[in-house]
Structure 1
Amino acid sequence: MTTALRLVFVAGLLGLLAWLVDPRALVARLQSAEPLPVLAALVLVQCQILASAERWLLTATALGQPLSRGRAVTEYYVASLLNQLLPGGVSGDVVRVWRNRGDARNAQAWAVPARAIMIERLAGQVVLGVVASAGLLVWVLGDGGAIPGAGVLLAGVGMALALLALATAGLARWAPRRLARFAAGFGPAIRVAWLGPGKLWRQLLWSLAIVASYLAAFALASAAIGAPLAPLAVVALVPLVLLTMLLPISVAGWGAREAAAAALWPLAGAASADGMAASVLYGLVSLVGALPGALLIARRRVHAGAGRQA
C-alpha cells in the first residue's frame, strides 16, 4: 500500500470512527482532558525513549557494534519521531539502521546494525505479547470471563501469534540468498544479545520497564479524558491496542489503534468514544514526547552547514 493510499485509508477510518462514536462526544472528551495525567504521560514517554536507548545500547554492544550512550539516546529520539510521522511504524528504525551503518560499500557493514535494531525491537514485542496473553488469560479466568468477547480475544491473539510464527518460518525458507544469509546470523545474534553472560536479566528489565511505560501512558490518557481503567483492564486490553500499531495499513498506528480502542473499551465498562478519545490523546502525547528528535535533527543540520562553510 502506497503512502497516499495509507493516508486516505487512515483519514477515512478515523472519520468513520468519529461519526460512529459521535464527533461531539469525542471532541468534548478531548477538550475536557485533565492536564496533570497528560503531563505525567509526557514524562513517561521520555522514560520510555531513554530505556529503549539503553536496551539498544546493550544489544548493539553485545553484537560488537561501537555505540555510545549519548548517540544511542540521540538516535532513538530521532527514530521515535520518524516512527510517529512516517507510514508503517518502523520507518524511523530503518533510518536508524542507515544512520548507524558501517562502510556503505560493504554489505556486511549493514548486518550488525540491522540485527541489533531488529533484536532490540523484537525483545519489546515478545514481552508485550507475553503481557497481553497473560493479561487476557487472567481476564478470561476472572471477572472478565463473564464479558462476551473475552474468550474470542484470547483465541484471536493465539491465532495471530501462530500465523506470525508460520509466516516467519516460511520467509526464512523461501527468502532470497542475501536475505537468507542475513537470517542465518540472526539466531546466533539473538543468543549473544539475549542469553550472553549477564544479558538476559538486563534485557528483561529494560523491556518490562518500556512495556510498563507504554501501558501506564495509555492508562493516563484514558484517565485524563474521564475514563480510568482498572489495572487488569490496562494489562489485558491496552497491549492489544498497541499491537495493532504494527499493522502495515496505518500511518504510525493511527486508525488501527483508535478502531481497536473503540472496540475494546466497552469490555472494561467504558464507552467506545472513551476508547477512541484515549487513543487519540495517547497518539498526540507520543508525538509531542518525541519532538526532541526534531530539535536534534535541526541541531545536526546546523552543525553540518557550519562545517561545510568552514
Structure 2
Amino acid sequence: MPDRHKLVIRLVAVVGLLVAVAFAVDLDAAITSLLDANLSLTILAIILVQGQIVLSAYRWHFTTQRLGRPLPIGRAISEYYLASLLNMVLPGGVGGDAVRATREGKAREGAADKAYGVAASAVILERLAGQVAFFMVAAVGIACWPLLLEDTLPVGTGWLLAAPPLILGALALLAWVGTRLAPRPLANWLKTLGPSIRKAWLTDGAWLIQGALSFAIALLYIAVFALASAAIGAPLGLLAAAALIPLVLLTMLVPISIGGFGLREGAAAALWPLAGFAGSDGLAAALLYGVVSIVGALPGALLLLKRSSAASSRA
C-alpha cells in the first residue's frame, strides 16, 4: 500500500476516533476546560517535557557509548528533540526514531552498512529499554487498581499486560528466522543484536544506569499527564495517576494513529469517570497533554529549519 494511502487512513482514523469521543462526552465542557486550563501548571508540564527529552537523549548517548560508537551528548539532545517532534506529528509514532537512526548512520565514518547497523541498534535498544520500564510501571499501577477503584479492571487491560512478553517472544522468533532466511546484511545485523543487548543493558552495571534513566523518564511521562489533568480542573491523586495514566499512555503504542491522538483521548474519556471526574475531563486532559508534548518538543523545529537553511545554501 502506498505511503500516502496509509497516511490518509491514519488521518481518517484520528478524526473518526476524536469525533466518536466528542459524541460520547460533553464536548462543550471539554472545550471550556481546555480553554480555561491553568497556565502555570501547563508551563510546568512543558518544562517536564524537556526533562523527558534530555534524559532520553542521555540514555541514547549512553547506549551508543556501550556499543563502542560514542555520540556527543549535544548532538544526541538536538537529534532527540527533532525525533520527539516528528513522533508527535508523523503516523505510527516511530517516524522520528527512524529519522534519528538514519541521520546518525549518515554521520558515522566507515563502512555505510556497519554505520547504519550500529545506529539502528542503538536507537532500537534505547527505545526498547524505555518500553520495558514503562510496562513495569504500568504493571505496578494496575496492581494499585483494587486499592483505588474496584476489583474489575477495564476491558482489554489483560491484553495490554500480555502484549509485552508476546511481542518480545514474536520479535525473538523473527530474529531467529531472520538470521537464517534474511538477506546477508540483515542476517548479519540480527546476529549482532544479542551481543549488543548484553553490552548496552547488562554488563558492567549498565542495567543500573539504563534502569534508573528509563524509570525516571516513565515517571516524567506520567507526571506531565497528571499536570495536564490538574490544569483542566481534574487533579488526580497519586493512586489514581498510577492506575489510570499508564493505561492511557499505553494506547499510544498502537500504530494506527498520529502521535496517539484519538486513541489517547478515547481511553482518557473512558477512564476518568472511574476517578470521579467526567469523561469530558479525560478528553480535555488528553488533548492538553498532546498539545504540551508538541510544544515541549518544538525546539526540534529549530533543527529542521537549520537543516533546510543549510540545504538551501548548498543549492
Gaps of 5+ in 1: none
1:100 paired residue number: 104
The code of the aligned residue for 1:266 comes to P
Q: Does 1:68 align with 2:75?
A: no
1:124 paired residue number: 130
1:163 paired residue number: 166
Q: Structure 1 residue 105: deviation in Å?
A: 6.5
1:302 paired residue number: 309
1:208-266 deviation line (CA, Å, top 9, x unaligned): 22111111000000000111111112112211111111111111111111111112212
Gaps of 5+ in 2: none
Alignment of 1:47-86 (within 5 A): 47-86=51-90
The code of the aligned residue for 1:263 comes to A
Give distance in 2, aligned partners of 1:167 and 1:195: 22
Q: Structure 1 residue 197: deviation in Å?
A: 1.5
Alignment of 1:130-209 (within 5 A): 130-140=136-146, 142-146=147-151, 148-150=152-154, 154-175=157-178, 176-178=181-183, 179-209=186-216
**TM score, norm. by length of structure 1:** 0.92
Contact 2:148 2:239 in 1 (8 A): no
The code of the aligned residue for 2:275 comes to A
1:46-85 deviation line (CA, Å, top 9, x unaligned): 1111111100000011101231011001100111111111
1:178-228 deviation line (CA, Å, top 9, x unaligned): 444333322211111111223221111211221111110000000001111
Q: Does 1:114 align with 2:100?
A: no
Contact 1:241 1:261 in 2 (8 A): yes
The percentage of aligned residue pairs carrying the same residue is 49
1:42 paired residue number: 46
The code of the aligned residue for 1:199 comes to A
Q: Does 1:9 align with 2:16?
A: no
Runs (4+) off by over 6 Å: none
**Number of matched residues?**
305
1:142-187 deviation line (CA, Å, top 9, x unaligned): 23334x435x555333332343234324423443414443333222
Structure 2 vs 1, CA of residues 47 and 197 (structure 1 numbering), >3 Å: closer, same or farther?
A: same
Give distance in 2, aligned partners of 1:90 and 1:189: 21
RMSD after superposition? 1.9
The code of the aligned residue for 1:177 comes to A
Contact 2:160 2:250 in 1 (8 A): no
